[in-house]
Amino acid sequence: MNRVLNFKKRTGQLKELGELVFLEGMKDISFEIKRIYYTHSAKAGVVRGRHAHKKLEQLLICVYGVIKVMCDDSEVQEYYTLDDPAKGLYVGPGIWHTMKWLKDDSVLLVLASDYYDESDYVRDYDEFIKLAKEGYWK
Ligand code: TYD
């Protein structure tokens, strides 16, 4: 289901040089990346998401700040605090998810397995539960 991935990184010889993080499609993540998007300039307290996807696979990376992600598989809710740019959270199909900004101007970078397609979204929670109970994602 959801899982936290640790990316490779190179730390500068001097701390002030910072850290470089890198990941490669089909090596460090299991899907081909067809779309990249990011959400920025949101203030602490903002909640985004509130949907599930029928088929889309995504990798969520908080490249700046702190974002708490809730993942609900219709039976169990799990919470992840993304506060490290060298970690990513894999969110597969059939997971209702929300992202809550815990720090102003946190940046959420998302790598997605497919192009944008509104028909892949399930935006109604009751519909999500119905599909899950029918075994849509089994
Ligand atoms: P949505 O995925 O609901 O954002 P969030 O989960 O962060 O709240 O998308 C918000 C709007 O942007 C919605 O109208 C669909 C549109 N959108 C695109 O047109 N292309 C994209 O790649 C994405 C992710 C969203």
Q: pLDDT tens digit string along 21-57?
A: 999 988 999 999 999 999 999 999 999 999 999 999 9
The residues facing 39 across adjacent strands are 108
Predicted TM-score (pTM) of the model is: 0.96
Distance CA 69, CA 81 (A): 6
53 an active-site residue?
Answer: no
With bands split at pLDDT 50, 70 and 90, how would you rate the model's confidence at 1? Answer: low
Say yes or no: CB of residue 98 within 6 Å of ligand 1.
Answer: no
Among 47, 48, 57, residue to substitute to test ligand 1 (most atoms within 8 Å of Cβ)? 48
With bands split at pLDDT 50, 70 and 90, how would you rate the model's confidence at 14? Answer: confident
Say yes or no: CB of residue 46 within 6 Å of ligand 1.
Answer: no
Evaluate if residue 117 carries a pLDDT over 70: yes
Q: How many other CB atoms are there within 10 angstroms of residue 76's CB atom? A: 8
Say yes or no: CB of residue 48 within 6 Å of ligand 1.
Answer: yes
Average pLDDT score, the chain: 96
